[in-house]
């Protein structure tokens, strides 16, 4: 497992310069550098052989990268006891992730404590502070970010992992490729990661077993969602169209409904609950639809609304706004759509954004900013959007929707993105080649 890395190996971000090793292109490169043009993937000209995008740290308040031995294509940010609405550095946060190893028996749940993550030093124009700034930079050089990790062996590659705080325990739900949904208590692993000191290191919790295993689907799946309003309620969806409802009973016992919710014609790709209505849940599917469910009703009557042809292809991901009655969806058609619960029954989105050049792999609303969300796509880009931004003719960039606020590049096959619920604006994503954790200057 590779520790947090201060060395930036990105291909680019919000504003990039183009570098070239080709002497014939030197004049053109000098023009690009002097004009500081924005390089827009898919809009600007393709990079020539020998050219690469240059990372500009001035676009970020913080950036760190790290890797695990095997790719982790799903993760979740775990709420911690360090306080809400924090913004001080060095930063610290905790994640839980699941691996995609070559052999089923080599897979792990990894609980990670990312600590001592510094921000980029901002230049100070006050000459009186030069000496103190030099001292701060020298001190910062001796402080490296560290990753304290605890691994739990599990059989099967992990398709999706979701964590929630249940009483005094933190529990994660895991969808694996063996056709099982398992619940794991990761409290001990979190405590161990929290108590570790010193250099980056990994320990293993041996003989850990899941709290509960459900194999009723008999096929694998990807959709998992904890209810934010009723602790212990969980929903899981599989590739054979079933949505199962879970409940935690007294004494920590778990019950899965005998009959699933049925209505989708193809794989259930994602699920999310209303942040305000206890019994309202949404789902999306490879059949191109989005559905709303009343979980109190009998399975045959639970679907209360269906958006046919919500996207022109598979609908991959959903996220429910915590402040307004809005959903954002992303599909294989590379589109992002905003839906209002006031009008969703008419099948009309209230906004549609087309920038990504590949299927959307993840979306999530910002937990504090009402109009902001983040997305990732198979075009190797992570994008940040503000739907409240109005078009400005003077500042418009051809080929870019005005609501697109930031592009984060440099990774391959970005699979999942999350905002930190307690550190406003802190974002984490995962890809085939590792994790990035960053905070931009404009969010």
The mean pLDDT value of the chain amounts to 88
Q: Report how far residue 325's alpha carbon sits from residue 313's, in angstroms, rounded to the nearest whole number.
A: 24
pLDDT at residue 24 above 50?
A: no
pLDDT band (50, 70, 90) for residue 303:
very high
pLDDT at 76: 98
How many other CB atoms are found less than 10 A from the CB of residue 134?
Answer: 10
**Taking residues 186-209, what's their average pLDDT?**
94
What share of the chain has pLDDT > 90, as a percent? Answer: 77
Tokens of 302: 């639970």
Start-to-end CA distance of the chain, whole Å, equals: 30
pLDDT band (50, 70, 90) for residue 290:
very high
What share of the chain has pLDDT > 70, as a percent? Answer: 85
pLDDT at 251: 81
Residue 422: left if φ>0, alpha if ψ -120 to 50, beta else—which one? alpha
pLDDT at residue 171 above 90?
A: yes
pLDDT band (50, 70, 90) for residue 143:
confident
Cis link prior to 90 (omega < 30° from 0)?
yes
**Taking residues 39-48, what's their average pLDDT?**
75
- For 108-122, 171-185, 370-384, which range has the lowest pLDDT when averaged over its residues? 108-122
Global confidence as pTM: 0.88
pLDDT at 55: 80
């Amino acid at each position: 497992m590779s520790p947090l890395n201060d060395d930036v190996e990105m291909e680019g971000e919000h504003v990039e310069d183009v570098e070239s090793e080709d002497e014939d292109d030197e004049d053109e490169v000098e023009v690009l550098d002097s004009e500081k043009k924005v390089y827009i993937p898919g809009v600007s000209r393709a990079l020539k052989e020998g050219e690469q995008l240059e990372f500009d740290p001035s676009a970020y308040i913080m950036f760190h990268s790290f890797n695990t031995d095997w790719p982790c294509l799903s993760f979740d940010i775990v709420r911690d006891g360090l306080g809400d609405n924090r913004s001080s550095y060095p930063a610290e946060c905790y994640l839980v992730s699941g691996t995609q190893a070559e052999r089923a028996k080599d897979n792990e749940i990894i609980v990670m404590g990312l600590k001592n993550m510094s921000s980029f030093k901002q230049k100070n124009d006050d000459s009186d502070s030069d000496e103190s700034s030099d001292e701060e930079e020298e001190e910062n050089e001796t402080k490296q970010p560290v990753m304290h990790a605890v691994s739990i062996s599990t059989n099967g590659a992990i398709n999706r992992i979701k964590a929630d705080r249940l009483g005094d325990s933190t529990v994660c739900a895991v969808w694996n490729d063996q056709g099982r949904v398992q619940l794991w208590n990761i409290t001990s692993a979190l405590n161990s990661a929290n108590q570790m000191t010193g250099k980056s290191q990994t320990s293993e919790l041996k003989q850990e077993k899941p709290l509960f295993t459900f194999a009723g689907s008999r096929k694998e799946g990807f959709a998992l969602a904890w209810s934010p309003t009723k602790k212990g309620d969980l929903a899981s969806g599989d590739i054979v169209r079933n949505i199962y409802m879970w409940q935690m009973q007294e004494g920590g016992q778990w019950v899965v409904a005998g009959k699933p919710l049925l209505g989708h014609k193809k794989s259930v790709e994602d699920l999310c609950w209303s942040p305000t209505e206890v019994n309202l849940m949404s789902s999306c599917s490879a059949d191109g639809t989005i559905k709303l469910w009343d979980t109190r009703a009998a399975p045959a009557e639970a679907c209360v609304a269906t958006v046919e042809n919500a996207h022109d292809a598979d609908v991959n991901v959903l996220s429910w706004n915590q402040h307004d009655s809005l959903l954002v969806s992303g599909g294989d058609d590379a589109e992002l759509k905003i839906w209002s619960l006031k009008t969703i029954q008419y099948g009309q989105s209230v906004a549609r954004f087309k920038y990504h050049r590949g299927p959307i792999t993840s979306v999530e609303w910002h937990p504090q900013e009402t109009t902001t969300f983040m997305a990732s796509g198979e075009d190797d880009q992570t994008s940040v959007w503000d739907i409240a931004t109005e078009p400005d003719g003077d500042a418009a960039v051809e080929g870019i929707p005005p609501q697109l606020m930031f592009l984060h590049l440099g990774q391959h096959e970005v699979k999942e993105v999350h905002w930190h619920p307690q550190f406003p604006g802190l974002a984490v994503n995962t890809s085939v080649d590792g994790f990035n954790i960053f905070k931009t200057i404009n969010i």
